[in-house]
């Protein structure tokens, strides 16, 4: 697969100011694996104003970026977006503003490629939306989690939305089906969380007194025989936070093959659950350009609605 047979010189525009060199290249070089991007930067084949730079170097207005000709071996090329995935992403857009968009992310689709994943949501969407020069994730969702996912379509919007996230001006509510009867009075779980390597490069999270402060608000939405539908709002934003906090409280999420129990997995199978029952149901954030609150809801998919219907019987 040939990506380009001659050197390109690209001038940095206003919307790209402050962007890291690696992210700039990933946007420009659609279909090129991240490992190759880092390789050409490390070898000095990418230059900014004729000078070698590191991947984390941030671009300024008017910078001239040299991109070398690339030839990508078929085995390392990022997979082209299939028609099915293209249609799925097109149908997943919940709302789009001038400099942001919110998707109802499908379960099973990683937000990033890597670790055996040839193509992730962001790489696929950059191929699908060729009209956009800039597209970055504002936050992430686990591969098996569905629901509201916010992306920025300009560098200023990304910076503004990241600031809103850090200042707790962005609210995210999830729906989760957990094992057992969640106590109505238990509305918060506070437990420090620590990430660790579980082997084979797999990341896991555990409760650890030496970990980072983590807090999740829980509210009971509906009770069933052997399970409870809860609304979860992460006050902090740690990896796998809702899943680990629920398991720590003795009510692991159904369909959770990392932190769930054997009994919970069996119950999920009896209810016809074939995935993690965790859905980012709503998201609110300040509009980057004017500060007005944007509020978006993502409906539960038919597969999760069917599980709830069976649980009510």
Which positions are annotated as active-site residues? 142
> Using an 8 Å Cβ cutoff, are 111 and 120 in contact?
yes
In sequence order, what DSSP letters do the residues of the chain get, joined into one string? -EEESS-EEEE--GGGTT-BHHHHHHHHSTT--HHHHHHHHHTT-SEETTEE--TTPBP-TT-EEEE--EE--TTTSPPPPPHHHHHHHHTTEEEE-SSEEEEEEPTT--SS-BTTBS--HHHHHHHH-TT-S--EESS---TT-EEEEEEESSHHHHHHHHHHHHTT--EEEEEEEEES---TT--EEE--EEEEE-STT-EEEEE-TTSB--EEEEEEEEEETTEEEEEEEESS--TTHHHHHHHHTT-PBTT-TTT--HHHHHHHHHTT--S--EEEEEEEEE-TTT--EEEEE-PPPHHHHHHHHHHH-
Crossing angle of helices 121-128 and 21-28, in 10° steps, is 50
Measured in whole angstroms, the distance separating CA 253 from the mean position of its chain's CA atoms is: 19
- Which residues face 268 on adjacent strands? none
Tokens 């671009």 -> residue? 59
């Amino acid at each position: 697969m040939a990506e380009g047979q001659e050197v390109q010189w690209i001038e940095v525009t206003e919307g790209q100011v402050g962007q890291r060199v690696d992210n700039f290249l990933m946007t420009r070089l659609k279909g090129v694996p991240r490992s190759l991007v880092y390789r050409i930067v490390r070898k000095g084949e990418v230059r900014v104003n004729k000078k070698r730079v590191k991947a984390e170097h941030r671009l300024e207005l008017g910078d001239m970026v040299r991109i070398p000709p690339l030839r990508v071996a078929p085995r390392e090329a990022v997979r082209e977006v299939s028609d099915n995935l293209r249609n799925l992403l097109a149908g997943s857009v919940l709302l789009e503003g001038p400099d942001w968009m919110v998707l109802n992310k499908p379960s099973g689709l990683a937000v990033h490629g890597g670790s055996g994943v040839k193509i992730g949501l962001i790489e696929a969407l950059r191929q699908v939306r060729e009209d956009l020069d800039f597209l970055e994730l504002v936050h992430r969702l686990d591969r098996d989690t569905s629901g509201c996912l916010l992306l920025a379509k300009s560098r200023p919007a990304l910076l503004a939305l990241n600031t809103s996230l850090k200042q707790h001006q962005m609210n995210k509510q999830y729906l989760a089906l957990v094992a057992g009867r969640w106590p109505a009075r238990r509305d918060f779980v506070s437990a420090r969380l620590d990430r660790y390597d579980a082997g084979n490069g797999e990341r896991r999270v555990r409760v650890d007194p030496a970990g980072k402060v983590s807090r999740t608000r829980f509210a009971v939405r509906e009770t069933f025989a052997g399970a409870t539908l809860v609304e979860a709002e992460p006050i902090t934003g740690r990896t796998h936070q809702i899943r680990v906090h629920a398991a720590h409280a003795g009510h692991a999420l159904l369909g959770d093959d990392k932190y769930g129990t054997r009994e919970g997995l069996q119950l999920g199978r009896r209810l016809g659950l074939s995935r993690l029952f965790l859905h980012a149901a709503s998201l609110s954030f300040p509009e980057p350009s004017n500060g007005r609150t944007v509020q978006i809801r993502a409906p539960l998919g038919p597969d999760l609605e069917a599980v709830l219907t069976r649980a009510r019987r």
